[in-house]
Chain A
Amino acid sequence: MSIPIPQNRQLMQRMQAGSGGKKSVVLAVILTLIFGPLGLFYASLFGGILMAIFGILVYFFSVQFNSLAILKYGGVLVYVLSVIWGVIAANNANQGYYFQQFKWEGVFKRWLRVLSVVMLLLVIGIFITLVIDSIPSIKALGISFLWGKVWDPVANIYGAYPFLVGTLLTSFMALIISLPFSYAIAIYLGEYNPKGWLSSLLKDTIDLIAAVPSVIYGFWGLSVLVPIIRTLELKWHIAPYGVGIMTSSLILAVMVIPYGASLGITMIRMTPSPLKEGAYALGATRFEVIRKVIMPYTRSGLFAGLLLSLGRALGETMAVTMVIGNTSAVAHAFKDLIFGPSNTMASVIANELLEADHTEYLSALIELGLVLFCVTVVINMIGKRIVSRFTND
């Protein structure tokens, strides 16, 4: 799709009228010669900022490595670049505003395309790397890697099943636990209390939950949540480990709430008021409006929020590894499956990758990463399908 260039006569005139910014090349040279990057601000704001950053970098490197040479050569380089950039920028400014506009449209469009393609290549590259590095393990273990129940680095037997179960179980349990909270928050802040100090305080607090580093959740889980769960387990006559699937799911639930809630709030606030007012005019109560008008209208958005939450839960590493108990044994009893210790794929990789001391072991860990990658992609694709179906309704 091409970017529309304004053809409107009036607009063109206005733009040309506003192009009075002629800049003196001589002045640009003098300023940059004296002030370096700071002098460049006259000719080009962007260039000035960039060069100033480089100047700071040069300073940083020279201090970091105790080297005067860096300061000397780097400083000269920054000055020379500033002068060249200054001349070019001042010259450009004199070439007329309208010409500039056309040129920038093209450059802008090209850059958008390049950066989008770079993202695509990056994802493909990650996938290819994972596949290549896991070839030794795929060759040795074949497809049975997926349902093997033993993870034994000494005997070189690797099976992803316990971690696959652990990952899916913690993520979906976290999603189910977080669901009522994130929907309640979304409806309250989106519909009942969309304005005012209390509303913005609550919203900011929820956004803050997402900004807290996960190791802090892990620490809180280990020192507060684990003892509580252990006491409960003693009461319910379950092996009182404290750590395990339930504890991780609770921590994860807290961590993913903001993802579902934030998107939900935005979507609910975007519901067109004519729709709501129409419903009220027909005699609907507030609850009925939420159920019959707002929920159907925002269904796909709320679901997308859930999907974001799930993505976060699937990949979460640090907080989970601190409270899940890290065992590769498969639980047999139902209560052990819910409360007992387990492990997730991300957690195993984080734990063992650094000290993986032979090829098959390393390769098996990377294959585990590949499985995690595929699980995430599949769940996302299913989610997208469901979102688009809801939207088409």
Chain B
Amino acid sequence: MAETVSSDFEGDATSKPAFSLKNRLIGIARVSPTMAAGILIILAFGVMALFAEFLMPHDPVSAYHDRILQPPSAEHWFGTDGNGMDVFSRVIYGAKFGFGIAIPAVLLSIIIGVPVGLIAGYRGGLLDEVLMRFFDGLRVFPSIILALAVVAATGQSLLNVVLVLGFLDSPVFARVVRSEVLALRSSVFVESAKAAGNPTWRILFVHLLPNAVQGAMAQTAVRAAWAVRISATLAFLGVGIQAPTPEWGAMIRQGAEFMVTGQWWVALYPGIALILLVFGLNLFGDGLQDLTDPRRRAAK
């Protein structure tokens, strides 16, 4: 399975052993143009986040008191907001929050979810039953509302947003890994590892993990999209991240009141940036899931 994926990835590039981003992208674009588009969008936002300091024409939090709510112009491409801050610079800076929240949150979900899934799937029994019922219990709460309520209850800080998102999303990874472990648990290589006297942790992390982790990895991009979306929603409601932080959701919150008075640019641009990044992550994630799920590939 792993081999078929990598040969798909490379396409014609197999004749050139040297790694080249351009060739890789062309290879991916042949298999799935939407996935390549997603990667390009993510890369563009990555550049924005890393080099924001060089790309911003203005300081994202310095207020020009004489230029409040100015429409887009040559000086302020996306106009200025209610405090007289440059919307364009703030939108660029916002990319830092998008990645800065999504990457650690997804990593945390993996760090919690993967071992839980490994152990639950391998051990089975009561532990597995209790864990799965607990995850089922969590599922009846709408994710946005649960995230909101927990962040509001545990204290509102950026760190808390990351912790809560990472924790609440860990069942996704636990479930995927668990179902793969269940299928592999009684396979020959696990039985022989056990017979050779390997300790349980070694069977779990050295023998099972590499074989069970692929499905979980396919989820990462879609879960990152979820984290970006939910963190922006929290900020829109003023929970966890407050204005005038140049975060997209918080900026939309600031711009909301001006939508009924006609100053559309304050809320419109951060929204478009948010949609593009989430869309890019979803396109990429959709492609990843297609590549790793043989049933979805067969349907094509």
- The answer to whether A and B belong to the same complex is no
